[in-house]
């Protein structure tokens, strides 16, 4: 379905909002949704805004670019599904807040543990030093191999 090139749904008595998934049809070169009962805002996407306003005519409750009718707040709310993005937005923000709190708590727990526990602090910095040494040695070995390869190729 993603490679669909033309869709003519005109005069089919379709109703409801235009699905945001229509904007995923990137190969679409012709779309005609005229003379139906669509309502709400035309989903924002480069694809759906590129069609002429005549392709949406006959849908009196439809608004947004490319139509001359701008959407009011009420019409924008028509475009949200009952379980729609308001709930999804709150779930998403709750997720990120929880993730931030968890990261901050974990970070400070580790810092406090390293500050108060001398054995852990020495073990941590010894480990970090070994990792730094391993990265340095590995980088130098690879660099020397590349230099030898360049010398061989230039001869």
User: Which range marks the domain in which residue 27 is found?
Assistant: 6-78
Residues pairing with 8 in the sheet? 32
Residues 89 and 65 in one domain: no
* Angle (nearest 5°) at CA 87 between 99 and 15: 145
Residues 46 and 17 in one domain: yes
Q: Which of 21, 51, 78 is the last residue before a domain boundary?
A: 78
Residues 62 and 102 in one domain: no
Residues 69 and 121 in one domain: no
- 65, 41 contact by CB (below 8 A): no
Largest CA distance in the chain: 77
Residue partners of 49: CB distance under 8 A and separation at least 6: 42, 65, 66
Is residue 1 included in any domain, yes or no? no
pTM of the predicted model as reported, rounded to 2 decimal places: 0.42
Return the pLDDT at 74: 52
Joined together, the tokens standing for residue 100 give 């931030």
For 88-137, the pLDDT digits (tens) are 677 788 899 999 999 999 999 999 999 999 999 999 999 999 999 999 99
Q: With pLDDT > 70 as the criterion, what percentage of the chain qualifies?
A: 86
Q: Provide the number of structural domains found in the chain.
A: 2
Phi, psi of 111 (to 5 degrees): -60, -45
Is residue 32 included in any domain, yes or no? yes
Residues 133 and 103 in one domain: yes
Residues 45 and 92 in one domain: no
For 4-134, strand residue ranges (E) read 6-8, 15-16, 30-32, 37-41, 61-63
Residues 41 and 67 in one domain: yes
Residues 17 and 60 in one domain: yes
Residue 25 maps to which CATH number? 3.80.10.10
């Amino acid at each position: 379905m993603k490679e669909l090139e033309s869709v003519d749904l005109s005069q089919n008595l379709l109703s409801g909002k235009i699905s945001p998934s229509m904007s995923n049809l990137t190969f679409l070169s012709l779309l005609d949704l005229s003379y139906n009962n669509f309502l709400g805002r035309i989903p924002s996407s480069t694809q759906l805004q590129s069609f002429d306003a005549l392709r949406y005519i006959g849908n009196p409750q439809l608004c947004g670019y490319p139509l001359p009718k701008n959407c009011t707040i009420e019409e924008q709310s028509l475009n949200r599904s009952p379980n729609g993005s308001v709930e999804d937005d709150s779930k998403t923000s709750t997720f990120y807040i929880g993730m931030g709190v968890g990261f901050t708590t974990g970070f400070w727990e580790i810092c406090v543990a390293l500050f108060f526990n001398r054995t852990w602090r020495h073990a941590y910095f010894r480990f970090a030093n070994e990792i730094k040494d391993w990265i340095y040695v590995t980088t130098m070995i690879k660099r020397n191999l590349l230099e030898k390869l360049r010398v061989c190729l230039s001869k």
